[in-house]
């Protein structure tokens, strides 16, 4: 059970990292430049590298999600939490923040 949780957590971290990278590419930003020198950036890079090796596959992640769902709730049919989704949500939030700051 703990190993499945670790794989699911690694899947989420990997999707977030890949989504952030995709967002940065779309915005023409350099990912390492943004993180360089920030507290914890080295630890984050090590964690992302470890997640590459430990992450569940999308199929395994979906199975884990369905095992964790509350009783009586419908089964999850597809994973919406992907790198593409993270990139799109990050861009949406970024543009929303820009609108808020610029009025």
Tens digit of pLDDT for each residue in 40-76? 888 888 888 898 888 888 999 999 999 999 999 999 9
> How do the domains of the chain map onto residue ranges?
2-102
pLDDT at res. 1 = 63
Residues 84, 69: Cα–Cα separation, whole Å: 24
pLDDT at res. 32 = 67
pLDDT at res. 37 = 79
pLDDT over 90 percentage in the chain: 57
Residues 49, 44: Cα–Cα separation, whole Å: 9
Q: pTM (2 decimals)?
A: 0.82
């Amino acid at each position: 059970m703990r190993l499945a949780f670790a794989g699911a957590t690694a899947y989420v971290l990997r999707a977030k990292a890949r989504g952030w990278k995709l967002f940065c590419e779309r915005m023409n930003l350099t990912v390492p430049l943004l993180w360089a020198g920030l507290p914890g950036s080295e630890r984050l890079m090590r964690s992302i590298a470890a997640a590459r090796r430990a992450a569940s596959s999308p199929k395994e992640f979906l199975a884990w999600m369905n095992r964790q769902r509350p009783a009586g709730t419908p089964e999850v049919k597809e994973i919406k939490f992907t790198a593409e989704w993270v990139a799109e949500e990050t861009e949406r939030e970024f543009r929303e923040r820009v609108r808020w700051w610029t009025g």
